[in-house]
Amino acid sequence: MLEPLLHSFDAEKIDATPATHDQIARVHQPRLIKAIEEVCKQGPGIVDHAPTYVTQTSYQDALLAAGGTIACTRTVLNGDASNAFAIVRPPGHHAEPDHVMGFCVFNNVAIAAREALTNGMGRVMVIDYDAHHGNGTQAACMDDERFGFISTHQWGIYPGTGWIEDAPHARGRLVNVPLNQFAGDGVFARVADDIFKPVVESFRPQMLFISAGFDAHWNDPLTSLGLSTQGFFNISKRLVQLANEYCDGKIVFVLEGGYDPHNVANGARAVFDALTHSTVGKETDDPSPHPEPDHEARIAEIRKWHGIKS
């Protein structure tokens, strides 16, 4: 199914190889890596209360997912492509340095960000618009001043982390944007202009990584945010514009969550549309039926905490 989609956007498939132990160990503790390898050898099982289910191939699958994200990163770093989209599974943004979590085994986006830092980038930033907080990515970048992070997420759901005042030592670099249910296209547009842009402008990353979670769609079965397919396109297009303004166009999207296959397919297409300067087709017109709550006070609170000036 991937080849026709790539062809329709004049995109090319990037061949991937599994990430090495050393590449994974830039984010995850070696004893965790070994433990995952061993538990997968023993066959099907649950390794986290989410529940995170693994099989005998899950360790190799996770290495390949991280390797695919690294391959996209290297392709953009080398100038062989202006941007890339790592369509990989299992996802990664919940995986913390010392444990598996939330359907995620290795933190693909954090591993890719470390790859960029190891290969000449002075500063990188991950922006995560999955409906759930990217707790694993936050943990991975917590004490690295070269590594910025912004997460929009629905407050009050799994994993229960990501409040505004997390990590006060990293104000302006580690930015959490907890949103109320049914925050949709309009709220995200405001967040992009009033939070994403000034934070990127201040931090000045040389490369952007995007944790693209399509569970932020309004009819995802597990969450209650309010984005439409057009909303995914709008936010992705804005991020591409920010990369063009501040990162010489260097941007890599990485697939995260999404629990309705149609939303994931439409969201992925919206990202390709944004990356290739196309427009969203009318066949994916699916506006949210829910009124959006007022987030002006929340946005102002976040801007004040991080010292974002008007």
Residue 310 maps to a domain:
no
Report yes or no: 157 and 223 within 8 Å, Cβ to Cβ.
Answer: yes
For residue 180, the enclosing domain spans 2-305
- Give the whole-angstrom CA distance, residue 108 versus residue 94: 10
Domain tally, the chain: 1
Q: Is 25 within a domain? A: yes
Task: Out of 7, 28, 93, 94, pick the active-site residue.
Answer: 94
CATH number, residue 227: 3.40.800.20
pLDDT exceeds 90 at position 26:
yes
Q: Report the C-alpha dihedral over residues 197, 144, 129, 8, rounded to 10 degrees.
A: 90
| 215-229: pLDDT as tens digits | 999 999 999 999 999
Is 14 a member of any domain? yes
Tell me the pTM.
Answer: 0.96
For residue 223, is it within any domain?
Answer: yes
Q: Is residue 193 part of a domain?
A: yes
In a domain, 113, yes or no: yes
CA distance 122 to 63: 25
Distance CA 95, CA 110 (A): 10
The answer to whether residue 95 is domain-embedded is: yes
Return the DSSP state at 193.
I
Strand partners, 99: 96
> Is 133 tagged catalytic?
no
Q: Can you tell me whether residue 227 is helix, strand or coil?
A: strand
With 0-12 / 13-18 / 19 or more C-beta atoms within 10 angstroms meaning exposed / middle / buried, residue 172 is middle
Express each pLDDT in 259-301 by its tens digit: 999 999 999 999 999 999 988 877 789 999 999 999 999 999 9
Q: Does residue 161 lie in a domain region? A: yes
Which whole number is the average pLDDT over 162-167? 97
Mean pLDDT for 227-236 is 97
Gap between the Cα atoms of 60 and 279, Å rounded = 36
